[in-house]
């Protein structure tokens, strides 16, 4: 088989870990599909305004032209909008080629909203052979908007060689947030929760960047530590140094960071939505907020900070044993089977 992966997310100098899971998948697939050819066409993830984004996509479409004259058995598109256009164009010239699409979230939740967009992209989606969604709620939205069936629910996968439990690591932080400091990720909910809690001995850590960084910097510097641009190994150590991971996202198709934390033995406190509830079992490997509010989050923080060591050890061990089906190797083996099943000689 000759397979081309297409993605509009890939690490860049500006955003060194954006879309790192695409890079990881590509490299792992090459190691487990030695008799096949795996190629990658990608856009680097950068900060852009609207005009720059238009120019970036125009440049990408031009750069793709040489691929139209190459022979691929399967094209796997990561991020449906707008890269599906490249795959459809390719298939017009190569009828036997199969198309696989993985929807990751904003490619359907944010970019396919208007009636005309839904009509146009429904036509494109109908020509896809296998549709993959990273979470169940996302699958439902895809089916409702595009009137197609989602064939597989499959996350992007956690690199088990990168995220694991480190031995004899001191718990320097009580609560950790990893992600963009934006409203969709619920950063403001956690900030407001910190303001409501009277216990000033609690230590928080934030890893990422975004619009709420100014608000974070106003918090007690003795309590709140902020990191930016950590590499994957440094991030693993931060997970290991934290007692709990917190993600009060307002919308989260899957949330790989939750399972990354669990691979390190760090239980998660999450909002009651999207793919978060597919990963966390309430009161077993973490906690699911009954409502995604600062008040409810504050209650859970006050409850978990008072845990004794035996209680914490139990929930930490449960977290560590959870979600192993989302390892990068398992995900890539499933992709290998998908490719094999649709391959036409």
In this structure, is residue 129 part of a structural domain?
yes
pLDDT tens-digit readout, 5-44:
999 877 666 666 667 889 999 999 999 999 999 999 988 6
- Residue 130 shares a structural domain with residue 203: no
pLDDT tens-digit readout, 84-142:
999 999 999 999 999 999 999 989 988 899 999 999 999 999 999 999 999 999 999 99
Q: How far apart are CA 125 and CA 149, in angstroms?
A: 10
The whole-number pLDDT of residue 278 equals 93
The whole-number pLDDT of residue 40 equals 96
In this structure, is residue 165 part of a structural domain?
no
- Residue 96 shares a structural domain with residue 206: no
- Residue 288 shares a structural domain with residue 335: no
- Residue 12 shares a structural domain with residue 111: yes
In this structure, is residue 126 part of a structural domain?
yes
Quote the strand ranges of 28-147, DSSP E: 37-42, 74-78, 98-103, 130-133
In 3D space, the residue among 192, 179, 231, 212 whose CA is nearest the CA of residue 11 turns out to be 231
The whole-number pLDDT of residue 333 equals 97
The whole-number pLDDT of residue 177 equals 98
- Residue 120 shares a structural domain with residue 177: no
In this structure, is residue 320 part of a structural domain?
yes
What tokens does 68 get?
A: 């139209």
Q: Which residues of 251-273 are buried (b: 16+ CB within 10 A; e: fewer)?
A: bbbbbbbbbbbbbbbbbbbbbeb
Q: How far apart are CA 312 and CA 300, in angstroms?
A: 14
In this structure, is residue 210 part of a structural domain?
yes
pLDDT tens-digit readout, 147-186:
999 999 999 999 999 999 998 889 999 999 999 999 999 9
In 3D space, the residue among 7, 10, 6, 26 whose CA is nearest the CA of residue 18 turns out to be 10
pTM comes to 0.90
Q: How far apart are CA 57 and CA 53, in angstroms?
A: 6
- Residue 189 shares a structural domain with residue 137: no
The whole-number pLDDT of residue 44 equals 66
**pLDDT category of residue 45 using cuts at 50, 70 and 90:** low
**pLDDT of 48 higher than 70:** no
Cα dihedral value 254, 257, 263, 265, nearest 10: -120
- Residue 229 shares a structural domain with residue 266: yes
- Residue 129 shares a structural domain with residue 192: no
- Residue 231 shares a structural domain with residue 147: no
Half-sphere exposure of 117 (CA within 13 A, CB side): 13
**pLDDT of 265 higher than 90:** yes
The whole-number pLDDT of residue 49 equals 62
- Residue 188 shares a structural domain with residue 279: yes
In this structure, is residue 167 part of a structural domain?
no
In this structure, is residue 78 part of a structural domain?
yes
In this structure, is residue 233 part of a structural domain?
yes
**pLDDT of 295 higher than 60:** yes
The whole-number pLDDT of residue 91 equals 96
Per the structure, the complete domain to which residue 31 belongs is given by 2-157+327-342
3-class DSSP state of 16: coil
**pLDDT of 344 higher than 90:** no
Q: Which of 3-17, 23-37, 45-59, 291-305 has the lowest mean pLDDT?
A: 45-59
Q: List the CATH number of the domain containing 295.
A: 3.40.50.2000
The mean pLDDT of 263-289, rounded to a whole number, is 96
The mean pLDDT of 38-65, rounded to a whole number, is 80
Q: Which of 53-62, 189-198, 213-222, 285-294 has the lowest mean pLDDT?
A: 53-62
Spatial neighbors of 328 by CB under 8 A, at least 6 apart, are 24, 25, 28, 157, 158, 159, 160, 161
Identify the residue with better confidence: 58 or 189: 189
- Residue 187 shares a structural domain with residue 318: yes
- Residue 13 shares a structural domain with residue 138: yes
Q: How many domains does the chain have?
A: 2
């Amino acid at each position: 088989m000759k397979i081309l992966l297409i993605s509009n997310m890939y690490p860049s100098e500006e955003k060194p870990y954006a879309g790192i899971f695409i890079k990881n998948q590509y490299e792992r697939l090459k190691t487990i599909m030695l008799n096949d050819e795996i190629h990658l066409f990608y856009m680097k993830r950068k900060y852009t305004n609207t005009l720059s984004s238009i120019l970036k996509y125009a440049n990408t479409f031009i750069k793709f032209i040489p691929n139209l004259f190459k022979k691929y058995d399967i094209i796997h598109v990561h991020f449906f909008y707008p890269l599906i256009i490249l795959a459809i164009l390719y298939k017009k010239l190569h009828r036997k080629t199969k198309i696989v699409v993985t929807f990751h979230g904003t490619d359907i939740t944010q970019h396919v909203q208007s009636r005309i967009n839904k009509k146009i992209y429904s036509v494109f989606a109908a020509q896809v052979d296998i549709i993959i969604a990273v979470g169940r709620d996302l699958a439902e939205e895809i089916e409702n908007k595009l009137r197609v069936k989602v064939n597989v629910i499959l996350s992007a996968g956690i690199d088990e060689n990168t995220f694991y439990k480190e031995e004899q690591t001191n718990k320097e932080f009580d609560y950790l947030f990893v992600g963009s400091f934006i409203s969709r990720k619920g950063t403001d909910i956690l900030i407001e929760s910190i303001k409501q809690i009277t216990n000033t001995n609690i230590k928080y850590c934030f890893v990422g960047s975004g619009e709420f960084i100014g608000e974070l910097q106003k918090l007690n510097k003795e309590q709140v530590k902020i990191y930016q641009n950590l590499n994957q190994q440094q991030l693993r150590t931060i997970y290991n140094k934290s007692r709990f991971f917190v993600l009060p996202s307002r919308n989260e198709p899957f949330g790989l960071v939750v399972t990354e934390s669990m691979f390190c033995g760090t239980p998660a406190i999450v909002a009651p939505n999207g793919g978060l509830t597919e990963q966390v079992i309430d009161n077993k490997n973490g906690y699911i907020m009954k409502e995604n509010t600062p008040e409810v989050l504050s209650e859970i923080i006050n409850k978990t900070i008072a845990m004794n060591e035996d209680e914490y050890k139990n929930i930490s061990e449960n977290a560590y044993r959870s979600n192993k089906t989302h390892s990068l190797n398992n995900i890539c083996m499933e992709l290998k089977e998908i490719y094999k099943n649709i391959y036409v000689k």
